[in-house]
Amino acid sequence: MYFSKLLSAVALCSSASALYVPGDADVNVQNKDQTPTALPEEPLNGTAYRPIMHATPSQGWMNDPNGLWYDTKEEVYHVYYQYNPADTVWGVPLYWGHLTSKDLQSWEDHGVAIRPPRNDSGAFSGSAVVDTNNTSGFFNDSIDPAQRVVAIWTYNTPESETQWISYSLDGGYTFIDYANNPVLDLNSTQFRDPKVIWHEESQKWIMTVVLSHKYAIQIYSSDNLREWTLESEFKNHGLLGFQYECPGLAKIPVSKPANCEMQLKDVSYPVKNNTDYVWVMFLAINPGGPQGGNFNQYFIGDFDGKKFTPFSEQTRFLDHGKDFYAFQGFYNSQFKDSFLGIAWASNWQYSAYVPTNPWRSSMSLARKLTVRPYNPTPESVQLVLNSEPVFVPEDMEFNSNFSSWKDLKLTSGKEEVFEFGSTPLGAFEFNLTFTANDTGLSKHSLGDFSIYLEGAKDPDEYLRLGYSTQAADFFFDRGNSKVSFVRENPFFTNKMAINMEPWEILAPGVKVFKVRAIFDVDILELFFNEGTAASTNTYFLTEENHPASLKFKTSVDNVFTVNELSLRQLTF
Amino acid sequence: MYFSKLLSAVALCSSASALYVPGDADVNVQNKDQTPTALPEEPLNGTAYRPIMHATPSQGWMNDPNGLWYDTKEEVYHVYYQYNPADTVWGVPLYWGHLTSKDLQSWEDHGVAIRPPRNDSGAFSGSAVVDTNNTSGFFNDSIDPAQRVVAIWTYNTPESETQWISYSLDGGYTFIDYANNPVLDLNSTQFRDPKVIWHEESQKWIMTVVLSHKYAIQIYSSDNLREWTLESEFKNHGLLGFQYECPGLAKIPVSKPANCEMQLKDVSYPVKNNTDYVWVMFLAINPGGPQGGNFNQYFIGDFDGKKFTPFSEQTRFLDHGKDFYAFQGFYNSQFKDSFLGIAWASNWQYSAYVPTNPWRSSMSLARKLTVRPYNPTPESVQLVLNSEPVFVPEDMEFNSNFSSWKDLKLTSGKEEVFEFGSTPLGAFEFNLTFTANDTGLSKHSLGDFSIYLEGAKDPDEYLRLGYSTQAADFFFDRGNSKVSFVRENPFFTNKMAINMEPWEILAPGVKVFKVRAIFDVDILELFFNEGTAASTNTYFLTEENHPASLKFKTSVDNVFTVNELSLRQLTF
């Protein structure tokens, strides 16, 4: 048994006084000090790649989000994460790092929250619950019911993976390990990532946890978080990849798109009840994702307290980009009409080589999820998770200069340039509604509407995104960069695409699309048609070569109209 | 009703005397002449991009393979395909073109085989059967039972899609439409791609056909190919994409990997019988494939003559590359222990813009498929389709110069170059077995074994493929090219990856991998671990800048050993 101690808060974006300490993290790590020392990457600086809104550790390595919970008393979000403070690559001992935020865009770093007992081991991924009614017996009346936090995590050693629980008596800043850990031991080396929720209907705790190499999500129930009963397995579903990781079960509110009247009863397969929620099973795989590396999928169905039953046998993408993994939902949040969660915004294929310093990886923005009926074709109504990013203040003003560009017809001979109008800092957002009319367009024509974001200091570097009527896909190209990592790493795919069906069809061949794009220094989150689909991808132009404008180009005439564009720099 | 006429055979690789005919195919096509006239792409030549072994049309546009069958009497393979002879992009009227081959690497072009009745319509995708017992009544005794060919295809008009049948009295060169077409009409515009097989057990014809926008594969039965009874639907399975296309049901022999003793009974989910075959359902989607554009998936299960029941609810990749679509199996073949099929080797995202001339697109090589048990992890036995390319002669000699390179240890300071030893013509094959020992490798190291294929005329253009121990993925990068299409088309993804688990584990961390790579001018087919996985991708270096050597490089010492390399140019 061990006790974690409270680290004094460290401002996340402070300049880290990192020292280079030679040695291989896998072999030599003996770092028992809770003030981590990071190893900078060799020639590059990398410090300017830190996103403004996306959660990052002050220094060191970060992967999966863990133990997400919301303190309803203090109105604070707690984000723990897989943390190697001793290096900018993964390694043991692996800790739970700890960040907090009130607005989901500025983050306070509290260092290590949970540490593993041995230096060759890890406090691997897991979740947190608020044990309001003290079912665990860990709390007395001095602990506010809103802060009775229990973390459930995987203790990984070279010999085994078992499930441990730890509780906090100080509102989630330090944890005490339960004396009789582990609470689950199957004598397996591939048994991990417990996610626990409270199941109101059966008045039980429910844990999903994977037998990674058996492609099985096990579902356990418990009255007290200490003793667990196996209820069922959800096995060999979806894309298997090499292994299952980070499962999660969530009761998610049903919403309706603004422009339609579809109901659950209209869905093209039997849906259990026409109620105001459905159950969603999240599942991550790595490696073996369809675009290479890691991938997050989900299933929609019903959960009866023992067994998850999907409504249909589909494989769905939680996000279509390369940098979105290990999604986890928050226990509690301030949002009652949606489900809040966060993912790791990187890819195991290349996460150890990205040129950031003295840390590696960020989280995604927090996302509000709902399930909604939607018709990808006129003949089918499907259920889909709808994603909406959240950060505060959401009501930050958009640049009013852009109102004059409403209903702008694009022509092949003319570039339309929208300048930000102030010093570019790398964080900005645009919302775009455009119409494509491809009736009569030659099949020889690409029919693209391209948005170029050139670096202000060196326009030879640029991001390109856009839409092609012929491919019916939205695209993002992050390959036009002078950064050697971008050019040379064989897994940093340049051109990503996502099928985007129209938000609205005004007439045959006349289609309306909506895109929301949030850029944050080295990460782009795209949301299509008010969130029907999302795509998250990192990018690296030369440091501080931030774009200062959007440049709209098209190869065709009389096809594209910009109906509405709003743009703002995000400078909090 | 109409009659197709026999076209005199045209050698496929003859230099086409193409004339430029201005005009947009979608608007002006009135070409009723069966000698197609192709429209060359503007500035490029493109003629040298023609693959040597992969089937291409002499000129014009090609997409899905159709009506694949093998004439057991003449020992000839018939490959029909979606064909627009009037242009190098898709357009109506759309025909069935026709190619034949005896060796699956040299192809004879017979021009149009099936034409649609109207100029605004298409003879869309479908299949062919050999009606040996004349169940259809179309044949008399003068037609050899081995050549009683009936084509089942979709007649597409702006108003509807219906299923038609046509029969051939000359061994598949010309077809006569059945007088009472359509044989299936659901009053739908999205009902297509019938694939018919003979179901021995129930002594019936079985058709799979999609209601594309309903995400449904319908299964029909028939005694005579003319009257069809709906038996069941397989609906909302796998990745839906925007629409379902090109379904197929096949009884596929079970094989065992050479290095294992796994049986069907060892599989991690219930398999109906421990017999010598299982049933496979093929399904194509486009757009909305996981890597963008089109995608071919499959399901493994049982078929009782009425209903297909998958053994598990997994989504599987038939091929992991971007250029493999609309796979179809042959009716009959010379191979009794495997199932033979061919796919279209392009992607709708960019197929209309590739710089070939005066044709666009090729087929994949023919592949022999078997189903085999395999253990992606030590804790799971999965069923997987195993792919092996077929072309004759398979016993062409490998370059004997390479025997001396057996058991070559790679070091970071030294490139190993393997020259072909004769004028490069663009078609070559290598077989590689290598060992990776990543014990003790720093997490900071990419740990790559890269194979560079530089252009002989301009080494600044190159293909790169290889493996990284850290990502556990094989990669292929086709982006280092001066061809403007490669650089500028936003969908021509540069870096593809495929998760490749070891063929054999010799000791902890010491893993053996096998790769077979077949390059054919502008298309690369990769097969991993004797066919457990495949990846097909087109590529474009500057015309005739063919690679003349393999250059092996690694960034790490004491990790990679080349156990065996064989190499041959493919010059038939």
Residue pLDDT, tens place only, B498-531 = 998 899 999 988 999 999 999 999 999 999 999 9
pLDDT at A18 > cutoff 70: no
Distance from CA of A37 to the nearest CA of B (A): 16
Comparing CA positions, the residue from B476, B468, B456 lying closest to residue B541 is B456
Q: Span B370-397, mean pLDDT?
A: 90
pLDDT at B535 > cutoff 60: yes
Question: What token pair was written down for B221?
Answer: 């039965």
Fill in the amino acid letter for A519.
F
B89 touches chain A (CB under 8 A): yes
Give the end-to-end CA distance of chain B in Å, rounded to a whole number. 42
Does A259 or A267 have the greater pLDDT score?
A267
pLDDT at A259: 65
pLDDT at A26: 28
A22 touches chain B (CB under 8 A): no
Provide the 8-state DSSP code for B494: S
pLDDT at B263: 84
Comparing CA positions, the residue from B230, B237, B178 lying closest to residue B207 is B230
Q: Span A321-345, mean pLDDT?
A: 97
Comparing CA positions, the residue from A289, A496, A493, A288 lying closest to residue B495 is A493
3-state helix, strand and coil shares in percent for chain B, rounded to the nearest 5 = 5, 45, 50
Percent of chain A with pLDDT over 70: 90
Q: Span A281-308, mean pLDDT?
A: 97
Structure confidence by residue, pLDDT tens digits, A423-467: 898 999 999 999 999 998 999 999 999 999 999 999 999 999 999
pLDDT at B393: 82
- Specify whether the CB–CB gap between B515 and B450 falls below 8 A: no
Q: Span B310-320, mean pLDDT?
A: 97
Backbone angles phi, psi at B47, to 5 degrees: -70, -30
A478 touches chain B (CB under 8 A): no
Q: In what order do the strands lie in the sheet with B339-344?
A: B325-329, B339-344, B366-377, B380-390
B96 touches chain A (CB under 8 A): no
Spatial distance between the Cα atoms of A143 and A129, rounded to a whole number of angstroms: 14
Q: How confident is the model at residue A571 (pLDDT cuts 50, 70, 90)?
A: confident
B472 touches chain A (CB under 8 A): yes
Comparing CA positions, the residue from A465, A380, A448, A436 lying closest to residue A412 is A448
A167-181, B55-69, B271-285, B479-493 — which is least confidently predicted? B271-285
Q: By CA distance, what is B478's nearest residue in A?
A: A490
Q: Which of A444, A465, A480 to mutate to test the interface with B (most CBs of B within 10 A)?
A: A444
- Specify whether the CB–CB gap between A23 and A31 falls below 8 A: no
Q: Which of A24, A26, A33, A64 is catalytic?
A: A64
Question: What token pair was written down for B263?
Answer: 């049986």
Counting one residue from chain A and one from chain B, the pairs whose CB atoms sit within 8 A come to: 225
Q: How confident is the model at residue B94 (pLDDT cuts 50, 70, 90)?
A: very high
Distance from CA of A544 to the nearest CA of B (A): 24
* DSSP SS3 for B530: helix
Does B131 or A44 have the greater pLDDT score?
B131
**How high does pLDDT run on average in chain B?**
90
Distance from CA of A492 to the nearest CA of B (A): 7
pLDDT at A288 > cutoff 60: yes
Spatial distance between the Cα atoms of B54 and B326, rounded to a whole number of angstroms: 16
pLDDT at B34 > cutoff 80: no
pLDDT at B166 > cutoff 90: yes
Distance from CA of B183 to the nearest CA of A (A): 23
Distance from CA of A232 to the nearest CA of B (A): 15
Q: Characterise A446 by phi-psi region: left (phi > 0), alpha (psi -120 to 50), beta (else).
A: alpha
pLDDT at B76 > cutoff 50: yes
Which helix (H) or strand (E) segment is A486 a member of? helix A484-488
Let me know if A487 is exposed, middle or buried by CB neighbors in 10 A (0-12, 13-18, 19+). middle
E-state strands within B242-338 = 244-253, 277-285, 295-303, 308-310, 316-317, 325-329
pLDDT at B432: 95
Give the end-to-end CA distance of chain A in Å, rounded to a whole number. 42
Contact B443 A236 (CB under 8 A): no
Provide the 8-state DSSP code for A15: P
- Specify whether the CB–CB gap between B36 and B59 falls below 8 A: yes
Q: Which of A159, A240, A481 to mutate to test the interface with B (most CBs of B within 10 A)?
A: A240
Q: Span B336-350, mean pLDDT?
A: 97
Backbone angles phi, psi at A214, to 5 degrees: -100, 0
pLDDT at A541: 97
Let me know if B159 is exposed, middle or buried by CB neighbors in 10 A (0-12, 13-18, 19+). exposed
Contact B490 A496 (CB under 8 A): no
Does A60 or B30 have the greater pLDDT score?
A60
Spatial distance between the Cα atoms of A491 and A328, rounded to a whole number of angstroms: 25
Q: Considering the entire predicted model, what is its pTM?
A: 0.92
Set of chain B residues whose Cβ sits within 8 Å of the Cβ of A192: none
pLDDT at B423: 87
B291 touches chain A (CB under 8 A): yes
pLDDT at B395: 74
Instruction: Report the sign of the C-alpha dihedral through residues B143, B145, B149, B152, in that order.
Output: positive
pLDDT at B338: 97
pLDDT at A260: 67
Contact B287 A379 (CB under 8 A): no
Contact B446 A382 (CB under 8 A): no
- A395 among known catalytic residues: no
* DSSP SS3 for A487: helix
pLDDT at B401: 59
Q: How confident is the model at residue B404 (pLDDT cuts 50, 70, 90)?
A: low
* DSSP SS3 for B103: coil
A211 touches chain B (CB under 8 A): yes
pLDDT at B211 > cutoff 70: yes
Q: Span B200-225, mean pLDDT?
A: 98
Contact A499 B287 (CB under 8 A): yes
Does B399 or A251 have the greater pLDDT score?
A251
Contact A471 B348 (CB under 8 A): yes
pLDDT at A202 > cutoff 80: yes
Does A550 or B273 have the greater pLDDT score?
A550
Q: Span B298-302, mean pLDDT?
A: 97
Q: How confident is the model at residue A256 (pLDDT cuts 50, 70, 90)?
A: confident
pLDDT at B27: 28
Token look-up 């061994």 returns B171
A57-66, A290-299, B250-259, B535-544 — which is least confidently predicted? B250-259
Contact A213 B380 (CB under 8 A): yes
pLDDT at A45: 85
Percent of chain A with pLDDT over 90: 82
pLDDT at B2: 27
Contact A213 B287 (CB under 8 A): no
Domains and CATH numbers, chain A: 56-389 (2.115.10.20), 402-569 (2.60.120.560)
Question: What token pair was written down for A495?
Answer: 């051109």
Which of B1-10, B263-272, B408-417: highest mean pLDDT? B408-417
Q: Span A488-507, mean pLDDT?
A: 93
Contact A213 B494 (CB under 8 A): no
**How high does pLDDT run on average in chain A?**
90
* DSSP SS3 for A247: strand
Whole-complex ipTM: 0.91
